[in-house]
Every structure is written in C-alpha cells, then in structure tokens.
C-alpha cells in the first residue's frame, strides 16, 4: 500500500514535510495547496506533484491523507473539514491555542471516526526515542524525576510572540508533551514561575522569556522544565530521567564534532542553531510513523488527546504564574 498525500501549506515547515513524504518509500505526494501560488508551485516543481486548492484536495479521490502546515488559526477548521472528508490527518501542533476550541474539534474527529496525529516531532528524535526505549526496557527502573532543559538559540520577533499564545503554549508545550511521554503518568499539579530576562519587548507584549515549571503526578513523580528564549551557544535541548535503578540522558547535538585544544582550553563547536537542522531526523521519523500506522491500522500517536493534554498543562502554568500557587490538574 502506498499512502497518497496532499500537503496543506507550502511554507517553511511545509517544505520539511514535503521532503519527508517524498523520501518515504510508502508514500507519494500527490498535490500541494497554499494561499500563495508561488510557494505551492515551488514544491510542485521540485517533487513533481500537482498544485490544487484546499477544496480540490478535500474532494480528491486520489488522496488518502493530508499534512496540515497552514497557520495555527486554521488548524482546527481544517482538521474538522478533512476529518469529515475522510482523509487521515497529520496536523502540526497546536490544534488551537484555545482549549475549548480544541475540545470541539476533537469531538468532530471522534464523531466522524477521523484519524488524527499531532506533530510533536520531538517524540521522534532518535536520541529522545532512545531515552524512551531505555525507560520502557526497564534500564532505569521506575521513573522518578524528569528534567527537561529547552532553550532556543534566540528569541523570535515580537510580532510572532504576540500571536504565539505565550511562551507556555508556544514553546513549553513541547516540553509538557515530552514530560507526559516520559513520566508514564499524568501530572496532577503544575507550578510555574516566569520572568522577562532576555528581551524587554517580550514583556511589553505581555509574555515571558524565561520560565521554570514543576509538575507532579499522583504517585509523586516529578518533572522540571527550564526554558529560555535565548542561549548564545545554540539550540539547547536536553532531557534526563532519574529512576529507581539509574538515570538516562540525551546529550545535546552539534553539527560538527571536533575539539580544539590550545592554551585557552579544550573547545567544541556550538550546538545546532536552528530547530530544522536539530530535528531533521525527527521530522522524517514522525511522517514515517504516521504512514506506518496508517498502513498497519494501528492508533496514531501522538493523538489529538495528547495535543489537548499538553495545552491544558500550558494553561495551568499560566494560571500558576498569575495566582502564585500550585494548580491542580488531576
């Protein structure tokens, strides 16, 4: 079986998914749609697929699945439409920035028997996958404390910040999902602190750039998240899980692994400076997982419910900062 794809959105992340789909032997990219025809045509030319409208893809008999890479505020609508059209859906995170809108959307997916996977790409990073596998294999015993350090190379433009839903919903959301993935239990409480240390303009836009979060599960397992919008040394992406029998950690990644020693010491190059180079393999792996699940008829994961759960944790973190207290989410 070959899964026939339509691509909705031909921007930066759309190109990433186009490459992932066309590079996968179990898939074919049939058509691409974008509000900017030039963007769609560029992808069509490179990969030999058709340019169509969203409506055309919706109605197409020769398309089994879509990848939604359009702006965030269109995701929920498109999920509903394509769920009704009977297409399997891979949607970039988030489904929506509003929990009630996400709930409504997921009801439609459920009612229509839709198939939805949400793009938490980090679950498919080979290093983080290996951490998860080590846990599943019992290498560290029972999970006790998860520590996630996630720092961007640099803050995005303030215009982006304003539309982002805030750092917890935009950036920490990846870490909320990763914490759930690794804890193996749902958090029942969220505590967070937040500050503006990197860029005053972010504060003026009503957001934070430096945050710390603690979550705890019913059995007492704890997860700590540390976020900053700026790390001079590159894209800092570490996870560490401490358990009853040991610890497992994923190391940071750099494009070049050399070391230069001089009288000033031993120096290795900075980390990756961009999420696309850092997570190249993760993007390919998540599309491969989507295709494999469709082929084998197994549940799509991460699911819409996973997207909702991470968003709810982000909302709780916002509330914790505002109310200076631990928020029960159990």
Nearer to a second copy, 83 or 210 (CB): 210
Name the minimum Å distance from CB 175 to a second copy: 13
Name the minimum Å distance from CB 240 to a second copy: 8
Name the minimum Å distance from CB 237 to a second copy: 11
**Alpha carbons 30 and 54: distance in angstroms, whole number:** 13
Nearer to a second copy, 102 or 248 (CB): 248
Name the minimum Å distance from CB 293 to a second copy: 23
Q: What is the binding site for a second copy (CB under 8 A)?
A: 126-127, 130-131, 134, 139-140, 142, 144-145, 147, 149, 151, 189, 191-193, 195-198, 210-212, 214, 216, 219-222, 224, 226, 228, 230-233, 236, 242, 244-251, 253, 255-270, 324-326
Nearer to a second copy, 18 or 198 (CB): 198
**Alpha carbons 254 and 238: distance in angstroms, whole number:** 12
Nearer to a second copy, 25 or 113 (CB): 25
User: Which residue from 277, 201, 298 is spatially nearest to 234, judged by alpha carbons?
Assistant: 277
Determine contact, residues 287/158, Cβ cutoff 8 Å: no
**Alpha carbons 198 and 202: distance in angstroms, whole number:** 8
Name the minimum Å distance from CB 197 to a second copy: 5
The Cα angle at residue 325 between residues 322 and 328, in degrees rounded to 5? 105
Determine contact, residues 7/32, Cβ cutoff 8 Å: yes
Nearer to a second copy, 77 or 185 (CB): 185
Q: Exposed (0-12), middle (13-18) or buried (19+): which is 76, by Cβ within 10 Å?
A: buried
Name the minimum Å distance from CB 270 to a second copy: 5
User: Which residue from 21, 15, 24, 65 is spatially nearest to 42, judged by alpha carbons?
Assistant: 15
Nearer to a second copy, 101 or 127 (CB): 127
Positive or negative torsion for Cα 115, 89, 315, 187: positive
**CB atoms closer than 10 angstroms to residue 207:** 25
């Amino acid at each position: 079986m070959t899964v026939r794809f339509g691509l909705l959105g031909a921007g930066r992340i759309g190109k990433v998914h186009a490459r992932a789909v066309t590079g996968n032997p179990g898939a074919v990219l049939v058509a691409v749609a974008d509000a900017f025809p030039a963007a769609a045509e560029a992808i069509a030319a490179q990969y030999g697929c058709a340019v169509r409208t969203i409506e055309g893809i919706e109605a197409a008999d020769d398309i089994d699945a879509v990848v939604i890479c359009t702006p965030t505020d269109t995701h929920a609508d498109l999920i509903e439409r394509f769920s009704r059209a009977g297409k399997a859906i891979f949607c970039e995170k988030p489904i929506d920035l509003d929990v009630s809108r996400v709930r409504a959307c997921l009801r439609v997916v459920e009612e229509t028997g839709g198939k939805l996977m949400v793009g938490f790409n980090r679950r498919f990073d080979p290093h983080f996958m290996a951490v998860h596998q080590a846990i599943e294999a019992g290498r560290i015993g029972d999970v006790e404390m998860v520590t996630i350090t996630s720092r961007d190379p640099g803050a995005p433009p303030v215009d982006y910040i304003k539309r982002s839903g805030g750092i917890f919903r935009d950036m920490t959301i990846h870490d909320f999902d990763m914490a759930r993935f690794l804890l193996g239990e749902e958090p029942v409480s969220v505590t967070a602190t937040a500050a503006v240390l990197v860029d005053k303009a972010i504060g003026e836009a009503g957001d934070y750039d430096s945050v710390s979060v603690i979550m705890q599960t019913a059995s007492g397992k704890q997860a700590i998240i540390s976020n900053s919008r700026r790390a001079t040394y590159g894209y800092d992406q570490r996870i560490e899980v401490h358990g009853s029998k040991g610890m497992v950690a994923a190391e940071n990644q750099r494009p070049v692994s050399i070391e230069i020693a001089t009288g000033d010491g031993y120096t290795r190059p900075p980390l990756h400076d961009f999420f696309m180079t850092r997570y190249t393999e993760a993007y390919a792996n998540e599309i491969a997982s989507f295709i494999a699940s469709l082929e084998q008829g197994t549940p799509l994961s991460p699911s819409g419910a996973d997207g909702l759960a991470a968003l709810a944790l982000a909302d709780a973190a916002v509330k914790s900062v505002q109310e200076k207290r631990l928020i029960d989410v159990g």
